[in-house]
Amino acid sequence: MPCAEDAHLSRIHHGFEHAAIIMEGERDIGLLKVARRLPAWQLIQLQLLPDCHGRGLGGKLIRSLQREAEHAGAALELSVLERNPARRLYLRLGFVDIQYADGEFLMRWTA
């Protein structure tokens, strides 16, 4: 268990300088980390509270990020574990696989 907690904290701290809290009304419902560097912005983390899953919020956030990246002339990249259900969302939103290693896909979206 301590190893799992250490891994979790490591993921939280990675790229934290790029973090923004996602709010719905007055409620904090998630975390978004995006490193906006050309030529490809990195979507480091998108995390929503479990009771916010399945409502289309993740898709709305990513589509908004895609519009912002397109306006800046940037591609958008992310990595996702092979078995992560979010991978289906990324494929629906136009991301394509550009690399695979050790159970993880690197995906890219371009306008």
CB atoms within 10 A of CB 73: 9
Rounded CA-CA distance 83/97 in Å is 14
Question: pLDDT tens track of the chain, all 111 residues?
Answer: 456 777 767 776 777 788 899 999 999 999 999 999 999 999 999 999 999 998 999 999 999 999 999 999 999 999 999 999 999 999 999 999 999 999 999 999 999
Q: Which domains does the chain have, with CATH numbers?
A: 2-109 (3.40.630.30)
Q: Give me the pLDDT at residue 1, please.
A: 41
- In this prediction the pTM is 0.84
